[in-house]
Structure 1
C-alpha cells in the first residue's frame, strides 16, 4: 500500500491540463468489442481503472497498438470468448466496476455474456438492476447463481427492439443497454436515459461506426438496430471531475492556476456551482483561469436562505464533485449544506476533515453542513486513509491547504482516477512525496 506525504501551505502557480475523462473511457473502451474493424481512441487517461480495463480487453483477444502515450488502436477481430470461463477473468473483472459495461457489446455482437459481481468504490450500494432489466426488455435471458463464483450470465440469442422506461437515469446502465441495442433487430426506445456529455460522446462514436441513434443529448434515445458496425476514430473529452478538483484546489491553497483545454461547453453547471462558493474564474477561450484568492464568500439564495449544493442527473450537478465542493467550502466565508442523494456512504470521510479542524456537521449519511472558517484558522496536518477516489482527492486538497505535514494512505484509490497527480501538481509548486 502506497502513501502520499504532503507538506501543506504551498501555493501553486502555473498551467495544468486535465486528463482524458475516466468515466467516458470506461464505456468507450468497451465499445471497441462491437466491431472487428480497428478503432483508434485518443486522449486515454493513464490511470489504474482504465489500464486494468485495457489489460482485460487484451486478455479477451483484442489487439492493442499504442500510437502515443494517450492513443491506442484496438482491433477486436478475434475475441476469445472462452476466457470468460476462467478464474483469471473472474478475478480481473471483479476488481473493476467498469467491467460490467463489457456485457452490452458482448450481447450485441456475440449474443451472450458473462460477468462477475464487479468491485469499485466503497461508497454504498450501487445496484445493477437497471442494466439487467434493460437487457431483459431487449429479450435477453438473465441468470445469477451465487454458487457459480457470483457470475451474472446472460443469453442474448434473440435481441429485439422495444420501448423501455429506465427505473433510474443510470449513466453506465444507459451506456450498456445502448451498446446492446445498436445491433438488436428493430427499433429500441430508451426513455429516462442518461444524457451526460460522456454518454453523448458514446452515441456520437457509435453513429460514426454505423449505428442509427437519434435523440442524442436528450433523455429519450431511439435506436434503429443495424446488422454490423465499422471501425472509427474517437477523441475523449477532458475529465470534468479533474477540472472541478483543480478549481477547488486552487481556491483552498490560494493558488493562481490556468486549467487548459477544458471543453467548457461540456462542463454544464460545474463552473457555476464553484462560483456560488465565491471562487473567481475567467474563461479564456477554452481555458479557465483561477486567480489567487485570500478569501471567497458563499452566496445565499435570493430569499437569504443557506446555500444547498445537491447532486442530480445531468444536467444537474455531478455527484463525483460533491466531495470536492465540501472540502472547498471549509475555508469559505459562509455556510453550505451538502446533500449527497445517490450514495449513502460517500460523506463518511468528513471525520478526517473534522480532525484536521474543519467545522462540519454530518447530519446523516446523505447530508453535511459546512461552516466556513474564512481563513481564521488553518487546517492541521494528520494521517488519514483514502476510502474512495473522490474522497481521496478531497483529503489531498485539505492536506495541501493545511499547516504541517499530512500522510494519506491507500492512495491506490486516488491513482484509480487521477493520472500522475503528484508529479503534475509538484510541477506547479506542490510538495507531495509518494512513499
Structure 2
C-alpha cells in the first residue's frame, strides 16, 4: 500500500491540464466491443481503473495497440467467450465496477454475456437493476447465481422496445444503449441519463454507424442497425478533475489556470462554485482562478443557509460533493451538503474533523459545514483514503493544512487521477509518494 506525505500549507501557481474523463473512457472503451473494425480513442486517462479495463479487454481477445499513454487502437475481431467463464475473468472483472458495461455490447453482438458482481468504490448501495431491466425489455433473460455472485444474460433474439428506466443511471443507460444499437427495430429509452459522458458515447456510436436521436435529452430513440464500423474518438476533459482543481485553488489561496477545460461541458459546476464565493474566469477553453484571501458562501434570497446537493444531469454531479464539502471548511459562512445518491460518501468527514474542521454530520446523506474563513487553518493529520473522490478531497485538505499530513491507501486516488502528485508538484505542491 502506498501513501502520500504532504507538507502544507502549499501555495500553488501556474497552469495545469486536466486528464481525459474517466467515466467517459470506461464507456467508450467498452463500446469498442460492438465492432470487429479498428476503433482509435485519444485522450484516455492513464489511471488504474481504465488500465484494468484495457487489460480485461485484451484478455478477452481484443487486439490493442498503444500509440502513447493516452492513445490506443482497439480491434475486437475475435472475442474469447470461453474466457468469460474462467476464474481469471471473474477476479479481474469484479475489481472494477465500470467493466459491467461490457455486457451490453456482448449481448448485442453474441446474444449472451456473463459478469461477476462488480466492485468499485464502497460508497453505499449501487444496484444493477436498471441494467438488467433494460436487457429484459429487449428480450434477454437474466439469471443470477447467488452462491457464485455471478450474472448471466442471454437471448436467442433481441427486439427493439419502449422502456422507462426506473432511475437515470449513467452506466445503466450506457449499457442498454450499447445493446440497443445492434438490436432490430426501434428502442426508446425514457428517463435516460444525459450526462456529457452519455452524449459523447452517442456521438461515437453515431460515427460508427448507429442511428440515435435525442442526444442530450432524457429520451433516446435508437433504430437498430446490422453492423457498426470503426471510428476515431477523442475523450472530453474530466469535469471532476476540473472541479477538483477549482476547489483546490480556492482552498489553498492559489492562482491557477486550468487549460483546455471545455467549460461548455461543465453544466452547473461553475455556478455551484460561484455560490461558494469562489471567483473564476472562463477564458475561451481555459478557466482562471485568482488567488483569494477569502470566499464567502451565499445564502438563499430569504437568508436561509445555502444547500449544495447532487442531482441527475443537468444537476450537479455527486462526484464533486466531497470537494465542495472540504472547500467549505475554510469559507466564510455555512452550507448544507446533501449527498442524495449514495449513503456512505460523507463518512470521511471524521478525518476532516480531526484536522480541525467544524462539521456536523446530520445523517448518512447530509452534513452541515461551518466555515473558518481561513481564520483557523486545518492541521496536518494521518488518514486513509476510503474512495476516489473522498481521497482527492482529503488531499486538498492536506495541501491547505499546517504541518505534515499522511494519506494512506492512495491506490484509491490513483484509480481516478493520473499522476496527481507529479502534476501538482509542478505548480508548487509538496507531495511525496511513499
Common fold, TM-score beyond 0.5? yes
Q: What displacement does 1:157 show?
A: 2.1
Q: What displacement does 1:9 show?
A: 0.6
Partner in structure 2 of residue 73 of structure 1: 73
Partner in structure 1 of residue 149 of structure 2: 150
Partner in structure 2 of residue 350 of structure 1: 349
1:5 lines up with 2:5 in the alignment? yes
CA distance in 2, matches of 1:204, 1:86: 34
1:188-222 Cα offsets, whole Å, 9 max, x none, are 00000000000000000001100000000000000
1:368 lines up with 2:367 in the alignment? yes
Q: 1:81-120, aligned counterparts within 5 Å?
A: 81-120=81-120
* Unmatched segments (≥5 aa) in structure 2: none
Partner in structure 1 of residue 332 of structure 2: 333
CA distance in 2, matches of 1:121, 1:326: 19
Q: What displacement does 1:156 show?
A: 2.2
Q: What displacement does 1:99 show?
A: 1.1
Q: What displacement does 1:68 show?
A: 1.9
Q: Secondary structure at the match of 1:200?
A: helix
* Unmatched segments (≥5 aa) in structure 1: none
CA distance in 1, matches of 2:301, 2:429: 38
CA distance in 1, matches of 2:62, 2:304: 55
Partner in structure 1 of residue 14 of structure 2: 14
Partner in structure 2 of residue 134 of structure 1: 134
CA distance in 2, matches of 1:75, 1:207: 18
CA distance in 2, matches of 1:184, 1:78: 20
Q: 1:159-238, aligned counterparts within 5 Å?
A: 159-238=158-237
1:49 lines up with 2:49 in the alignment? yes
1:334-393 Cα offsets, whole Å, 9 max, x none, are 000000000000000000000100000000000000000001101000100000000000
CA distance in 2, matches of 1:384, 1:262: 30
CA distance in 1, matches of 2:37, 2:236: 23
- Cα RMSD of the aligned pairs, angstroms, is 0.5
Please say which of residues 50-59 and 299-308 is displaced more in the overlay.
299-308
CA distance in 1, matches of 2:319, 2:348: 14
State how many pairs are aligned. Answer: 434
CA distance in 2, matches of 1:368, 1:76: 46
CA distance in 2, matches of 1:360, 1:157: 55
Please say which of residues 233-242 and 152-161 is displaced more in the overlay.
152-161
Partner in structure 2 of residue 430 of structure 1: 429
Partner in structure 2 of residue 291 of structure 1: 290
1:74-100 Cα offsets, whole Å, 9 max, x none, are 100111111101100000000010110
1:316 lines up with 2:315 in the alignment? yes
CA distance in 2, matches of 1:242, 1:162: 37
CA distance in 1, matches of 2:119, 2:188: 30
CA distance in 1, matches of 2:77, 2:283: 44
Q: Secondary structure at the match of 2:77?
A: coil
Partner in structure 2 of residue 416 of structure 1: 415
Q: 1:262-281, aligned counterparts within 5 Å?
A: 262-281=261-280
CA distance in 1, matches of 2:136, 2:283: 48
1:256-302 Cα offsets, whole Å, 9 max, x none, are 00000011110000011011111111111110000011100001111
Q: Secondary structure at the match of 1:425?
A: helix
Q: What displacement does 1:66 show?
A: 1.0
Q: What displacement does 1:69 show?
A: 2.3
Runs of 4+ in 1 over 6 A off after TM superposition: none
Partner in structure 1 of residue 238 of structure 2: 239
TM-score, reference length from structure 1: 0.99
Q: Secondary structure at the match of 2:407?
A: strand
CA distance in 1, matches of 2:32, 2:162: 26
CA distance in 1, matches of 2:281, 2:192: 33
Q: Secondary structure at the match of 1:67?
A: strand
Partner in structure 1 of residue 59 of structure 2: 59
